């Protein structure tokens, strides 16, 4: 049965609204408890004010700390509603905010306990650390979180390999876990009433359960159930291969065209590292296909993978799929190997002849040329190829439309572009240029569905 565009997009809207409301209500609730405990009155004195501020910032930091862990717990409802690109952006924002609040908590509460005398703060910090239950663990947790945050600052992140950054980032779990005991053993705001105890234990238990179920349990269960193996590796160009995978009961693997998985190919060096690759063909219940361009060691090794190799996956992830669709007509715009999920969408989405157009940007080699021609012939997919070197750093395509600028050219090719759902995928800088043109063309933000192949 054909799904009405917009049904799931509306449901996702509701999930996003609920998530937003739950987060803000939690922040308001802990602030209310702080006020009810006389937090505002305590602001009247210097030392009591510092301690009071320290308590408030600690409470807010704790809520945001849990929220950011939950955002990356691969909870299917959140994954579907936000998509990983957006979740990662929100995670980054809440992460830095909770970290700053945590530092403010550390400084102000210690300063307050030192009777507001800055010179006594180091000695007080030492006393608090060794005398109070759970504080030594909290300090160790803070060090872990500092490591995570420092390596996530853009300038630092660019200097380290993805795998090293990812490994260090996992220390955040340890940091959050180590911070817990001091809250429950020494924080009066956490235990002052049954409702508070219930609130905090529920929040912690739900977050821990989400991690265990969705990051560990689900992938283990899925891989045991489907037992994926490589069936063929086909070279598309000298730097791009397609890998075909089959497994048991793949009709039960709930995935759709446009989504991606994190992949591990066993039995070769580096199998412990998972790499995200999008499906390049619509899943048919029997097999999956990815198409991968060499970018580093992991992707380059795929050309040498043998049929029969066991494959572990995590996913499916991403909302570059029918789920995000709001209207009948669509435009698919992709560059380079970013065409992979769009190729799958062109096959998997439901559309009438003439309702779907695919713009493919490439320099020399047109990936999936024959397959796209077949979709043009059989499904009425309109095709527009944009080959060659880009005509300048500010433009997202090569020579072709004469004197027209990017916006004029786009409007010339697709006059109703602002009324369509646009699925966009490619390198980050390139997608940003296309996005600017789409914004200028009047495309509403909720109609743009974007994925970049960048961490």
Note the residues at the interface with ligand FAD (CB under 6 A).
162, 260, 274-278, 290-293, 295-299, 337, 340, 451, 453-455
Query: Please, what is the minimum distance in Å from the beta carbon of residue 162 to ligand FAD?
Result: 4
Q: Which residue, judged by CB position, is nearest to ligand FAD in the bound state?
A: 296
Query: Please, what is the minimum distance in Å from the beta carbon of residue 454 to ligand FAD?
Result: 6
In the bound state with ligand FAD, the residue whose beta carbon lies nearer, of 148 and 275, is 275
Query: How many whole angstroms separate alpha carbon 302 and alpha carbon 291?
Result: 10
Query: How many whole angstroms separate alpha carbon 170 and alpha carbon 164?
Result: 10
Query: Please, what is the minimum distance in Å from the beta carbon of residue 250 to ligand FAD?
Result: 18
Query: Please, what is the minimum distance in Å from the beta carbon of residue 85 to ligand FAD?
Result: 8
Q: What is the DSSP letter of 238?
A: T
Tokens of residue 403, six digits: 């004197």
Sequence-ordered list of residues with C-beta below 8 angstroms from that of 113, at least 6 positions apart, any chain: 51, 124, 128
Residues present in the chain in total = 455
User: How many other CB atoms are found less than 10 A from the CB of residue 288?
Assistant: 28
In the bound state with ligand FAD, the residue whose beta carbon lies nearer, of 287 and 299, is 299
What three-state secondary structure class fits 316?
strand
N-term to C-term CA, the chain: 36
In the bound state with ligand FAD, the residue whose beta carbon lies nearer, of 124 and 452, is 452
In the bound state with ligand FAD, the residue whose beta carbon lies nearer, of 157 and 225, is 157
Query: Please, what is the minimum distance in Å from the beta carbon of residue 253 to ligand FAD?
Result: 17
Q: Judging by DSSP bridges, how do beta strands 356-361 and 382-386 pair with one another?
A: parallel
In the bound state with ligand FAD, the residue whose beta carbon lies nearer, of 255 and 278, is 278
In the bound state with ligand FAD, the residue whose beta carbon lies nearer, of 135 and 346, is 346
- Percent of residues in the chain assigned helix, strand, coil, to nearest 5: 55, 15, 25
In the bound state with ligand FAD, the residue whose beta carbon lies nearer, of 273 and 411, is 273
Q: Mind giving me the DSSP string for 11-41?
A: HHHHHHHHHHHHHHHHHHHHHHHHHHTTHHH
Tokens of residue 179, six digits: 């911070």
Alpha-helix runs per DSSP H in 285-380: 297-301, 339-348, 369-379
Query: Please, what is the minimum distance in Å from the beta carbon of residue 166 to ligand FAD?
Result: 7
Query: Please, what is the minimum distance in Å from the beta carbon of residue 63 to ligand FAD?
Result: 28
């Amino acid at each position: 049965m054909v799904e009405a565009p917009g049904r799931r997009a509306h449901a996702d809207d509701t999930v996003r609204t609920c998530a937003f409301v739950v987060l803000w209500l939690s922040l308001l609730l802990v602030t209310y408890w702080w006020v009810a405990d006389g937090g505002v009155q305590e602001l009247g004195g210097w030392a009591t004010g510092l301690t009071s501020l320290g308590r408030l910032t600690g409470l807010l930091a704790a809520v945001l700390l849990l929220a950011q862990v939950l955002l990356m717990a691969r909870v299917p409802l959140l994954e579907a509603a936000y998509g990983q690109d957006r979740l990662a952006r929100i995670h980054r924002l809440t992460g830095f905010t909770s970290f700053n609040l945590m530092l403010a908590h550390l400084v102000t509460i210690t300063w307050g306990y030192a009777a507001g005398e800055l010179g006594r703060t180091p000695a007080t910090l030492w006393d608090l650390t060794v005398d109070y239950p759970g504080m030594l663990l909290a300090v160790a947790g803070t060090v872990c979180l500092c490591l995570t945050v420092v390596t996530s600052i853009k300038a630092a992140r660019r200097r380290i390999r993805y795998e090293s950054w990812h490994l260090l980032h996992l220390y955040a779990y340890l940091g959050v876990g180590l911070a817990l005991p001091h809250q429950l053993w020494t924080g009066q705001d956490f235990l002052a009433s049954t409702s508070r105890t219930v609130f905090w234990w529920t929040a912690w238990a739900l977050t821990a359960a989400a991690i265990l179920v969705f990051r560990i349990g689900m992938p283990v269960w899925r891989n045991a159930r489907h037992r994926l193996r490589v069936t063929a590796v086909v070279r598309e160009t000298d730097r791009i291969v397609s890998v075909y995978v089959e497994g048991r009961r793949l009709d039960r693997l709930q995935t759709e065209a446009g989504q991606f998985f994190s992949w591990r190919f066993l039995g070769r060096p580096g199998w412990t590292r998972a790499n995200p690759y999008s499906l390049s063909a619509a899943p048919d219940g029997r097999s999956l296909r990815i198409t991968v361009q060499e970018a580093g060691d992991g992707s380059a090794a795929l050309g040498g993978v043998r049929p029969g190799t066991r494959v572990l996956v995590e996913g499916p992830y991403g909302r570059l799929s029918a789920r995000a669709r709001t209207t009948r007509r669509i435009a698919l715009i992709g560059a380079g190997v970013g065409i992979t999920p769009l190729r799958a969408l062109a096959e998997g989405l439901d559309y009438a002849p003439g309702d779907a157009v695919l713009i493919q940007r490439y320099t020399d080699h047109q990936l999936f040329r024959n397959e796209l021609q077949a979709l043009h012939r059989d499904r009425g997919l309109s095709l527009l190829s944009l080959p060659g070197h880009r005509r300048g750093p500010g433009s997202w395509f090569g020579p072709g439309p004469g004197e027209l600028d990017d916006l004029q050219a786009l409007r010339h090719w697709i006059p109703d572009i602002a009324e369509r759902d646009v699925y966009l995928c490619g390198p980050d800088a390139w997608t940003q240029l296309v996005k600017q043109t789409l914004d200028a063309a009047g495309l509403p933000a909720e109609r743009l569905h974007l994925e970049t192949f960048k961490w």
